[in-house]
Amino acid sequence: MIHTVEGDLASVLADAVVRPATTRLEPLTQALRRLDEAAGPSFAAQSQVRRELAVGSAVVTGAGDLPHEFVLHLVLGTAPDTVTTDAVRRATEAALWQCTQWHIQSLAAPVPAAGNLSAEGALDAFLSVLRPHMQTNDLPTTVRIVSGTAAETALLNARIGQGDD
């Protein structure tokens, strides 16, 4: 099931939290920087990479001090202004594959918008992969798309509806 939740991404209960990131696993937005701060120094150490990762990939790490078991990093671009809908689609596919491999049942995910990519475009790209995957695969069973503002919650509810799928 896909649900919308308004609140703080770091505190939404789920097995894993989705974290849109750069090719060096750096946060793409201010909200993601706050998530990193909440995760603490052990998460920072786990998120170090030796070389750039491929755009459209996904990486699983521990969650540090967050109330999640894992962080699922969507590798979306070299910087916020390089994020595209294609990168969101490919990284979402990779992340959902990781869910099946790691037996991740529930996800908390922000709308993966950054730079010039609008929330609407990012959400549509994310859902275009998520919905068919959830119809044909067992994992994840629940995805909570988390919004930080009333305007974003309204967009989410218009696109997916509360309790959709």
Q: What percent of the chain has pLDDT over 90?
A: 81
Specify whether the CB–CB gap between 6 and 151 falls below 8 A.
no
- pLDDT per residue over 12-69, tens digit each? 999 999 999 999 999 998 889 999 999 999 999 989 999 999 999 999 999 999 999 9
Going from N- to C-terminal start, the domains of the chain cover 2-160
Between CA 92 and CA 112 the distance in angstroms is 10
C-alpha to C-alpha distance for 151 and 66, rounded to whole angstroms: 26
Positive or negative CA dihedral for 160, 102, 94, 62? positive
Residue in this structure with the two tokens 């967009």, named with its chain if needed: 155
Rounded average pLDDT over 145-165? 78
Higher pLDDT, 95 or 29: 95
Percentage of the chain exceeding pLDDT 70: 97
Q: Which CATH class is domain 2-160?
A: alpha beta
